[in-house]
Structure 1
Amino acid sequence: MTAYVVFIRENTTNPSQLEIYAEKSPAGLKGHPVTPRAVYGKHLVLEGPKIEGAVILEFPTFEEANAWYNSPPYQEALQYRLKGGNYRGFIIQGV
Protein backbone atom coordinates (compact mmCIF):
# COMPACT_ATOMS: atom_id res chain seq x y z
CA MET A 1 0.00 0.00 0.00
CA THR A 2 1.27 3.48 -0.85
CA ALA A 3 2.98 5.53 1.86
CA TYR A 4 3.90 9.18 2.09
CA VAL A 5 6.82 10.87 3.78
CA VAL A 6 5.85 14.35 4.94
CA PHE A 7 8.30 16.97 6.15
CA ILE A 8 7.05 20.27 7.54
CA ARG A 9 9.56 23.09 7.94
CA GLU A 10 8.48 25.28 10.80
CA ASN A 11 11.36 27.75 10.46
CA THR A 12 14.86 28.11 9.10
CA THR A 13 17.68 28.53 11.60
CA ASN A 14 20.76 28.21 9.35
CA PRO A 15 20.28 28.72 5.59
CA SER A 16 23.84 27.62 4.74
CA GLN A 17 23.17 24.19 6.28
CA LEU A 18 20.00 23.87 4.20
CA GLU A 19 22.04 24.67 1.07
CA ILE A 20 24.37 21.77 1.87
CA TYR A 21 21.34 19.55 2.45
CA ALA A 22 19.91 20.57 -0.94
CA GLU A 23 23.18 19.51 -2.59
CA LYS A 24 23.45 16.18 -0.78
CA SER A 25 19.84 14.97 -0.52
CA PRO A 26 19.27 14.03 -4.19
CA ALA A 27 21.93 11.31 -3.88
CA GLY A 28 19.79 9.70 -1.18
CA LEU A 29 16.91 9.25 -3.62
CA LYS A 30 18.89 7.13 -6.09
CA GLY A 31 17.69 3.55 -6.17
CA HIS A 32 14.51 4.30 -4.24
CA PRO A 33 11.04 4.27 -5.84
CA VAL A 34 9.96 7.79 -4.87
CA THR A 35 7.60 10.25 -6.51
CA PRO A 36 7.68 13.84 -5.25
CA ARG A 37 4.10 15.08 -4.82
CA ALA A 38 4.75 18.53 -3.30
CA VAL A 39 7.99 20.39 -2.66
CA TYR A 40 7.69 23.75 -0.90
CA GLY A 41 4.93 24.99 -3.18
CA LYS A 42 2.21 27.49 -2.44
CA HIS A 43 0.43 26.58 0.78
CA LEU A 44 -2.22 27.85 3.16
CA VAL A 45 -2.22 26.80 6.81
CA LEU A 46 -5.79 25.98 7.80
CA GLU A 47 -5.13 25.00 11.41
CA GLY A 48 -2.23 25.26 13.82
CA PRO A 49 0.90 27.38 13.76
CA LYS A 50 2.26 28.82 10.53
CA ILE A 51 4.89 26.90 8.56
CA GLU A 52 7.51 27.88 6.01
CA GLY A 53 6.74 24.95 3.76
CA ALA A 54 6.27 21.23 3.31
CA VAL A 55 7.42 18.28 1.22
CA ILE A 56 5.36 15.20 0.37
CA LEU A 57 7.11 12.17 -1.13
CA GLU A 58 5.21 9.09 -2.31
CA PHE A 59 6.60 5.56 -2.00
CA PRO A 60 5.01 2.27 -3.07
CA THR A 61 5.04 0.91 0.50
CA PHE A 62 5.58 2.01 4.09
CA GLU A 63 8.65 -0.22 4.26
CA GLU A 64 10.23 1.41 1.19
CA ALA A 65 9.63 4.87 2.66
CA ASN A 66 11.27 3.82 5.90
CA ALA A 67 14.17 2.18 4.05
CA TRP A 68 14.82 5.40 2.12
CA TYR A 69 14.75 7.53 5.28
CA ASN A 70 17.17 5.21 7.07
CA SER A 71 19.49 4.69 4.09
CA PRO A 72 23.11 5.79 4.64
CA PRO A 73 23.07 8.38 1.81
CA TYR A 74 19.95 10.09 3.17
CA GLN A 75 21.16 9.93 6.76
CA GLU A 76 24.35 11.70 5.64
CA ALA A 77 22.27 14.55 4.14
CA LEU A 78 19.78 14.62 7.00
CA GLN A 79 22.23 16.05 9.51
CA TYR A 80 22.41 19.27 7.48
CA ARG A 81 18.63 19.63 7.30
CA LEU A 82 18.35 19.23 11.04
CA LYS A 83 21.07 21.85 11.60
CA GLY A 84 19.36 24.18 9.15
CA GLY A 85 15.83 24.35 10.48
CA ASN A 86 13.12 23.08 12.75
CA TYR A 87 11.10 20.31 11.12
CA ARG A 88 8.40 17.80 11.77
CA GLY A 89 8.49 14.63 9.72
CA PHE A 90 6.50 11.43 9.49
CA ILE A 91 5.53 8.52 7.29
CA ILE A 92 1.84 7.87 6.77
CA GLN A 93 0.28 4.93 4.99
CA GLY A 94 -2.11 5.77 2.18
CA VAL A 95 -5.58 4.31 1.63
Structure 2
Amino acid sequence: MAALWISHINVTNPDQFAKYVELAGPAIRKHGGEFLARGARFVQLEGNKRERNVVVRFESIEAAEACYNSPEYQEAVSHARGASERDLMVIEVTEP
Protein backbone atom coordinates (compact mmCIF):
# COMPACT_ATOMS: atom_id res chain seq x y z
CA MET A 1 0.00 0.00 0.00
CA ALA A 2 1.33 3.46 -0.89
CA ALA A 3 2.55 5.78 1.82
CA LEU A 4 3.07 9.51 2.25
CA TRP A 5 6.20 10.97 3.87
CA ILE A 6 5.08 14.26 5.39
CA SER A 7 7.49 16.76 6.91
CA HIS A 8 6.88 20.14 8.47
CA ILE A 9 9.98 22.32 8.79
CA ASN A 10 11.17 25.64 10.17
CA VAL A 11 14.59 26.50 8.76
CA THR A 12 16.92 28.10 11.31
CA ASN A 13 20.14 28.13 9.24
CA PRO A 14 19.36 28.62 5.53
CA ASP A 15 22.94 28.14 4.32
CA GLN A 16 23.37 24.81 6.09
CA PHE A 17 19.84 23.68 5.20
CA ALA A 18 20.53 24.34 1.51
CA LYS A 19 23.00 21.43 1.56
CA TYR A 20 20.24 19.18 2.94
CA VAL A 21 17.92 20.23 0.09
CA GLU A 22 20.67 19.59 -2.47
CA LEU A 23 21.28 16.04 -1.22
CA ALA A 24 17.81 15.00 -0.04
CA GLY A 25 16.02 15.26 -3.40
CA PRO A 26 18.29 12.81 -5.23
CA ALA A 27 18.34 10.43 -2.23
CA ILE A 28 14.54 10.40 -2.01
CA ARG A 29 14.10 9.93 -5.77
CA LYS A 30 16.70 7.11 -5.77
CA HIS A 31 14.47 5.22 -3.35
CA GLY A 32 11.32 5.67 -5.43
CA GLY A 33 9.97 8.79 -3.75
CA GLU A 34 7.80 11.12 -5.83
CA PHE A 35 7.49 14.70 -4.59
CA LEU A 36 3.86 15.83 -4.44
CA ALA A 37 4.50 19.11 -2.60
CA ARG A 38 7.79 20.73 -1.68
CA GLY A 39 7.68 24.16 -0.07
CA ALA A 40 4.47 25.05 -1.91
CA ARG A 41 1.91 27.63 -0.85
CA PHE A 42 -0.28 26.50 2.06
CA VAL A 43 -2.92 27.70 4.48
CA GLN A 44 -2.58 26.71 8.15
CA LEU A 45 -6.05 26.00 9.50
CA GLU A 46 -5.15 24.41 12.85
CA GLY A 47 -2.10 23.42 14.88
CA ASN A 48 1.46 24.68 14.81
CA LYS A 49 2.56 26.48 11.68
CA ARG A 50 5.85 25.50 10.02
CA GLU A 51 7.20 27.59 7.17
CA ARG A 52 8.02 24.67 4.85
CA ASN A 53 5.98 21.52 4.19
CA VAL A 54 6.93 18.53 2.05
CA VAL A 55 4.86 15.55 0.90
CA VAL A 56 6.48 12.59 -0.88
CA ARG A 57 4.71 9.46 -2.13
CA PHE A 58 6.42 6.08 -1.75
CA GLU A 59 5.19 2.62 -2.77
CA SER A 60 4.95 1.59 0.90
CA ILE A 61 5.82 2.57 4.47
CA GLU A 62 8.71 0.12 4.25
CA ALA A 63 10.09 1.88 1.16
CA ALA A 64 9.87 5.26 2.93
CA GLU A 65 11.63 3.87 6.00
CA ALA A 66 14.33 2.29 3.83
CA CYS A 67 14.89 5.68 2.19
CA TYR A 68 15.10 7.43 5.56
CA ASN A 69 17.60 4.90 6.87
CA SER A 70 19.71 4.83 3.69
CA PRO A 71 23.27 6.18 3.76
CA GLU A 72 22.33 8.77 1.11
CA TYR A 73 19.45 10.22 3.07
CA GLN A 74 21.30 10.06 6.39
CA GLU A 75 24.10 12.13 4.80
CA ALA A 76 21.49 14.66 3.65
CA VAL A 77 19.65 14.83 6.98
CA SER A 78 22.92 15.39 8.84
CA HIS A 79 22.86 18.87 7.26
CA ALA A 80 19.27 19.52 8.42
CA ARG A 81 20.07 18.73 12.05
CA GLY A 82 20.98 21.98 13.74
CA ALA A 83 19.74 23.92 10.71
CA SER A 84 16.03 23.28 11.15
CA GLU A 85 13.20 22.22 13.43
CA ARG A 86 11.47 19.28 11.75
CA ASP A 87 8.57 16.92 12.24
CA LEU A 88 8.53 13.90 9.92
CA MET A 89 6.01 11.10 9.66
CA VAL A 90 5.03 8.40 7.20
CA ILE A 91 1.40 7.36 6.83
CA GLU A 92 -0.22 4.69 4.68
CA VAL A 93 -2.58 5.92 2.00
CA THR A 94 -6.00 4.40 2.45
CA GLU A 95 -7.55 4.11 -0.95
CA PRO A 96 -11.12 2.98 -1.56
TM-score (norm 2): 0.90
One-letter amino acid of the structure 2 residue matched with residue 74 of structure 1: Y
State the 1:30 CA deviation.
4.7
Query: Is 1:66 the equivalent of 2:75?
Result: no
Q: How does 1:44-83 map to 2 (within 5 A)?
A: 44-83=43-82
Partners of 2:73 and 2:92 in 1: how far apart? Answer: 20
Q: How does 1:76-95 map to 2 (within 5 A)?
A: 76-95=75-94
Gaps of 5+ in 1: none
Q: Percent identity?
A: 32
Q: Which runs of 4+ in 1 moved over 3 A?
A: none
Q: What is the RMSD computed on CA atoms of the aligned residues?
A: 1.2
State the 1:23 CA deviation.
1.9
Instruction: Provide closer, same or farther for how the CA distance between residues 66 and 54 of structure 1 changes in structure 2, counting only shifts above 3 A.
Output: same
SS of 1:5's equivalent? strand
SS of 1:89's equivalent? strand
Gaps of 5+ in 2: none
Give the paired residue count: 94
Deviates more, 1:18-27 or 1:52-61: 18-27
Could you list the per-position Cα deviations for residues 25-74 of structure 1 after superposition, in whole angstroms to 9, with x for gaps in the alignment? 23313531111111010000010122202000000111101101110000
Query: Is 1:2 the equivalent of 2:16?
Result: no
SS of 1:83's equivalent? coil
One-letter amino acid of the structure 1 residue matched with residue 16 of structure 2: Q
